[in-house]
Structure 1
Amino acid sequence: MFEKMPHIKEEVYIDFLGRTIEIHWNYHAILMVSIWLVLVPLCITIIRYGKPRPTEFGLRRQVHIKHIEWWWFSTHKYGLSLAVFLTLAGVTVALVVSGGFSGSVHAILGSMTVILAVVQIVAGLMRGTHGGKYYNKADPNDPSTWHGDHYSRTTRRRIFEAYHKTAGYFTLFCAVGAIGSGLMQYPMPILAKIVFALPFLFLAFWVVMEFFERRYDGYRAVHGYGMEHPYNKEREFL
């Protein structure tokens, strides 16, 4: 069994409070596991399997949290934004009470996770416009109103998707490493069992969703399945 590392502080003196307080590292561990092994995989799962079945006209109302047909995108976007915010808060508290960056494997992997997570938020802000033949205020009879980075599959959008999806999984990989190394430094047997079980629960759900073929193509779900749409035409023989 792993034992708690002797260098891990159990209390810290806070100058502006003028007193010494106990450090509850178990709260930090529970928070990070909840974020990176529950909230983040859940948000990924929702955007992967929550998209609606493609129709002729796709989703016509504006992308907005108030429109229920976009619930899968809104959950992914704001859920992951919340995950990054909570991670930054948790890491900030940990750095303050521990007296700075320790240089341990846990600290390195945790820092990589935070940096990559913040970059994901920045990348999301740069993903470009939406567009679409039937989207929002577009005129189906006027091609000049259809353009958007997503609809037209511009280089900007392709770069975003290539990075966002790939780096997202790599960020989760770093987070799992940070959690594992953290539990080696500060053992929590019950939490460790939960950490071990969670991936299998998600795996079972993903297998079921794949069996029922619920992973709909995002472009077709949003813009429609017609072959007149640029990216559908591009993948005509796929």
Structure 2
Amino acid sequence: MNLLRPLYEGIFGTTAHWNYHAWLMFTIWIVLIPAVLLLTRFGKPAPTLEGIPKGSAKLGRKLFWFTMHRVGLSALATASVVGGLVAIAANGGFSATLHSVFGIATVVLSVMQIVSAWFRGSHGVSKTVASVTAEPPATHGDHYDMTARRRWFEAYHKTVGWVTVASALGAVTTGLSQYWVSGMGTVMASLAVLYALIAVVLEARGYRHDTYMSNFGTGAHHPFNRQRIEEMSRQ
């Protein structure tokens, strides 16, 4: 028995309003999440010698990209869970369609992305160049030291993030093949072209910055910078 069905009927009535589900998930996964991913990729401040100062405002220019990535994507993933539950309630349960498989995979993967963020480890704070030889030393952390924990987190989080987006595209396209929503296909194609052009332009103009250097600085005394320099010297 679908326990969600009575709740759905109490809000929407007995008719399955698939257009509500379609536009909600389309807005989340085709409009907003790609926009946040573009901001994450190209919105980091240009690296400086000392990086982003400790205590910078979370909604300030330097950390706006990170706040939107963490809070924005978490909120959108939560909204997609709600959208998925609404669809299950309207349908009277799970279906075995390809759209349902892609949709459930997308929602599950998005939740796993939120959960994985709990395992990213500590951030750490670097010491400034002026005090590089002073005591006490920098506050070390998984990100600052790029520990194995942080490396595994980034490898998982980035890879699964793109897999989730691909799954969402599959869900939307198979959904449209089942239930065509006028204008949605045109908007989807237009956004794909627009976002691709934005990415190309921003990439060409040098707006994609190294996350570690943007956060902690370009100095060779930072652990991960030093490690990369040593690796390059051995090549």
**Residues 15, 173 of structure 1: alpha-carbon distance in 2 compared, 3 angstrom cutoff:** closer
Kindly provide the CA deviation profile for residues 109-155 of structure 1, in whole angstroms up to 9, marking residues without a partner as x.
Answer: 101111110000001111111112238xxx75236442110000011
Residue in 1 that maps onto 2:90: 97
Gapped runs of 5+ residues in structure 2?
A: none
> Are 1:157 and 2:146 counterparts?
no
- 1:197 maps to a residue whose letter is S
Match of 2:120 in 1: 127
Q: Is the 8 A contact 2:80 2:107 kept in 1?
A: yes
Could you say which residue in structure 1 is the equivalent of 2:201? 208
Q: Could you list the runs of 4 or more consecutive aligned residues of structure 1 that deviate by over 6 angstroms after TM superposition?
A: none
Alpha-carbon contact 1:58-1:134 (below 8 Å) kept: no
Query: Given the superposition, is the C-alpha separation of residues 58 and 98 from structure 1 closer, same or farther in structure 2, using an over 3 Å criterion?
Result: same
Q: Give the number of the structure whose residues are more often helix, by fraction.
A: 2
Q: Does residue 74 of the first structure (1) align with residue 67 of the second (2)?
A: yes
Instruction: Determine if contact 2:8/2:89 at 8 Å carries over to the other structure.
Output: no
1:232 alignment counterpart: 225
1:34 pairs with 27, 49, 57, which one?
Answer: 27
1:25 aligns with 2:24: no
Shift of 1:235: 1.5
Q: Is the 8 A contact 1:60 1:134 kept in 2?
A: no
What residue number does 1:223 align with?
216
Residue in 2 aligned with 1:3? none
Does structure 2 conserve the Cα–Cα contact (< 8 Å) formed by 1:48 and 1:215? Answer: yes
User: Aligned-pair distance for 1:61?
Assistant: 2.0
In 1, Cα distance between the equivalents of 2:219 and 2:11? 67
TM-superposed deviation, 1:22: 2.3
Scaled by the length of structure 1, the TM-score of the pair is 0.87
* Cα gap change, 1:13 to 1:154, in 2 (>3 Å): closer
Deviation of the 1:67 alpha carbon: 4.5
Equivalent residues, number: 224
Aligned to 2:80: 87
Residue of 128, 139, 142 corresponding to 2:135: 142
| 2:127–2:138 Cα contact (<8 Å) kept | no
When normalised by structure 2's length, the TM-score is 0.88
How has the CA–CA distance of structure 1 residues 64 and 15 changed in structure 2, closer, same or farther, with 3 Å as cutoff?
Answer: closer
Shift of 1:231: 0.9
1:72 maps to a residue whose letter is: W
